[in-house]
């Protein structure tokens, strides 16, 4: 699959897979100077790229596990979805959940993106739903 991508700035870095088996391609900060995030501070970090995702696909933006475990840096919204009809700059919504300040440097790998196929559902309103063993049991009802 090929995805059309535009570098909005000359110093933008295209997404990069680090290994042959990687599902996620790294996204890089496209910033002019370092940004320091204090504990619990959140920022949108630009990547300097925009793309044309094919219809029927999305790009999921996810935290980098190493940054999360080592520094508490993660995504404000958990996983971000970039829709096929969005053509603006891809930004990464980052939060520092760590106990110390964390500095994002220009060009730093800040997140990863996964291209995923999806289907659009048609909602079928009914009077009742079929029965299951779980029924209406809520969170934690199937065990710990």
Hey, what are 65's tokens? 């596990």
**Spatial separation of the C-alpha atoms in residues 121 and 30, rounded to whole Å:** 36
| Cβ pair 134, 127 in contact under 8 A | no
* pLDDT, average across residues 58-62: 98
**Strands, sheet with 73-75, edge to edge from the N-terminal-most edge strand:** 42-46, 91-96, 73-75
**Domains along the sequence of the chain with CATH:** 4-116 (2.70.40.10)
Relative to beta strand 109-117, strand 42-46 is unpaired
Q: Give the pLDDT confidence of 101-139 residue by residue, as tens digits.
A: 999 999 999 999 999 999 999 999 999 999 988 888 877
The pLDDT assigned to 141 comes to 67
The pLDDT assigned to 144 comes to 61
| Cβ pair 51, 15 in contact under 8 A | no
How many whole angstroms from its chain centre is CA 20? 20
């Amino acid at each position: 699959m090929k995805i059309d991508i535009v570098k909005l700035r000359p110093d933008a870095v295209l997404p990069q897979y680090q290994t042959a088996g990687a599902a996620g391609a790294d996204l890089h900060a496209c910033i002019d100077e370092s940004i320091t995030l204090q504990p619990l501070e959140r920022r949108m970090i630009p990547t300097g790229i925009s793309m044309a995702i094919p219809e029927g696909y999305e790009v999921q933006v996810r935290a980098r596990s190493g940054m999360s475990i080592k520094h508490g840096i993660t995504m404000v919204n958990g996983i971000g979805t970039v829709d096929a009809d969005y053509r603006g700059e891809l930004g990464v919504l980052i939060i520092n959940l760590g106990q110390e300040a964390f500095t994002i440097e220009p060009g730093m790998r800040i997140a990863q993106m996964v291209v995923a196929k999806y289907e659009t559902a048609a909602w079928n309103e009914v009077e009742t739903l079929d029965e299951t063993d779980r029924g209406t049991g809520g969170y934690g009802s199937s065990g710990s």
